[in-house]
Amino acid sequence: MGEEPGGRRRSRRGREGVGQKRVTDYRRLTNPFRPQAVFSDDRIAAIHDTALKVLEELGIKVLLPEARQRFTEAGALVDEDSQMVRIGRDIVGHALKSAPKSIHACAPSPERDLVYEEGALTFMSGAGAPNVSDRVEGRRPASLADFTSIAKISQHFDVMHTMTASVEPQDVANELRHYAMTKVQVETSDKLPFVYARGTPQVTEGFEMLQLAYGLSEETFRAEPHTYTVINTNSPRQLDIPMAQGIIDFAEWGQISIITPFCLAGAMAPITIAGALTLQHAEALAGITLAQIVRAGAPVLYGSFASSVDMKSGAPAFGTPEHFTSALGAGQLARHIGLPWRGGGGTASNAVDAQAANETQMAMWGAILGGCNMLVHAAGWIEGGLAVSLEKMIVDIEVLQMVAELCKPVPGDDDAIGFDAIAEVQPGGHFFSAAHTMSRYRTAFYEPLVADWSNFGNWTAAGSQTSPERATAIWREIVEGFTPPPVAAERQGVLDDYIARHTEAGGAPPVS
């Protein structure tokens, strides 16, 4: 936790006075917790060394010829028949030297700019789900309207730091979907937008649309990150064509890729945490190296999606002790190589119930205590990623807001200690009307979003609503009453001509 020297908050007293409304700003968070370790430093070094050995001796299968060519030019040993690429540790070491330790990402509104570096803490909603779920229309394949609703909810809360590909708008054709998803982000939000790495044609058009929308020259766009993507390797040890194209394209354009192996221990990775992290580390290093080969200094995040599966059914599990310790280990490995890193929340629960809340929060604490800088799937994710629940977005955002509150210093000066207030209230009395209380009561405490603290009688009289039921009213009000932020309001329709033209030309199918 951030420590608070005596008296430091005195100057803020005026902002906490009578008549003031509580103002919160969760836009730029610094993780207040000291990172926790699961392995000793020498074992982390051993995992790193073993990962280097994996790349050097076993190699990784790279399906994209251009990527193999890039690796060859950098000195890797490539076997074209097997498509295996063996990468020497000198090449990886060189790449790690050029990968930036701190990444400044330019959002459409400058006050939404983000910095990914050690100590930074950012959150984003569940991503990549084919389905959406809410208590109004039930569970269903996601549509563009659902994607838009989630974008509005993500925009509404400061604690959601970036836009993302929350759900798949399955009512939009594959070759046109990236137009629709980009348009919604541009017209809804002033936060860092997401572009899917589904092959060079879509990525290039995504970059074009963002330049057009925000009036950026190609030079300005390339000079700093204005968008980001997630690269998943096909664990074990395989990098497919669209993902390799994504690494290359994002690196060439100076945009952020988050290299995230998908290492579920016991399934696509060794059953041990140490083994799963070793494979993850090898695959992440391969992707990071490719990005740096393409452009030294390309912004990359170290990604972790290590968890376990149920060894009876093969079902993925999240928020488990294994997921938690994997996150702590991933954080150690990220710090070992000096890169900012992405962790993942989530739950396997099919309902917005106590299991969902408990698993999601366990996963979150693993990531936070592991010092993660970007927490993906932090809100709304259920069913192990097969759906985003609008109600769960709200209940998760409550937790994220409480964590954001923990990022603030807590006043510890003499006035906060309040000897005079303690002296003022006699035994058997109460502090409700003490001067010390009166000057602070409007702003002293976190105000809940969806939590209901009323007693059982009042709660019952009001209809015995559980938190997901209350959450329905909250997200509906946000979605129905949504007003885009100025940056987005000014850009309504700005992409329409571009999209019409490219749609007429047949769009851009995803590469596979």
H helices of 418-495, in order, are 419-424, 435-438, 456-461, 467-480, 486-489
Q: Does 85 bind its own copies (CB under 8 A)?
A: no
Q: Does 328 bind its own copies (CB under 8 A)?
A: yes
Using CB under 8 A as the criterion, what x/- string covers residues 269-298 for binding its own copies? xxxxxxx--xx--x----------------
Q: Does 353 bind its own copies (CB under 8 A)?
A: yes
Render the burial of 131-164: b for 16+ CB within 10 Å, e for the rest. bbbbbeeeeeebbbebbbbbbbbbbbbbbbbbbb
**218-221 contacts, C-beta under 8 A, 24 or more apart:** 221/253, 221/254
| C-beta closer to its own copies: residue 27 or 295 | 27
CA distances from 360 to 77, 142, 323, 355, 491 (A): 42, 22, 11, 8, 35
Site for its own copies in 29-68 (CB under 8 A): 32-34, 36-40, 42-43, 46-47, 50, 53-54, 57-58, 60-61
Structure tokens at 76: 């890797």
Q: Does 429 bind its own copies (CB under 8 A)?
A: yes
Q: Among candidates 91, 90, 89, 96, which has minimal Cα distance to 52?
A: 89
Q: Does 331 bind its own copies (CB under 8 A)?
A: no
Q: Does 423 bind its own copies (CB under 8 A)?
A: yes
Site for its own copies in 125-164 (CB under 8 A): 139
Distance of CA 435 to the CA centre of its chain: 43
Closest approach of its own copies to the CB of residue 499, in Å: 33
Structure tokens at 373: 């800088």
Site for its own copies in 192-211 (CB under 8 A): none
Q: Does 217 bind its own copies (CB under 8 A)?
A: no
By CB under 8 A, name the one of 75, 321, 486, 493 that touches its own copies: 321
Closest approach of its own copies to the CB of residue 288, in Å: 18
Give Dmax over CA atoms of the chain in angstroms: 85
The residue behind tokens 């020498």 is: 42
To the nearest 10°, report the CA torsion of 216, 220, 225, 230: 60
By CB under 8 A, name the one of 304, 359, 390, 484 that touches its own copies: 359
Of 86-94, 196-204, 320-328, 498-506, the window that binds its own copies (rule: CB under 8 A) is: 320-328
Site for its own copies in 452-471 (CB under 8 A): 452-456, 459-460, 464, 466-468
Question: How far apart (Å, rounded) are the C-alpha atoms in residues 406 and 401?
Answer: 9
| C-beta closer to its own copies: residue 239 or 487 | 239
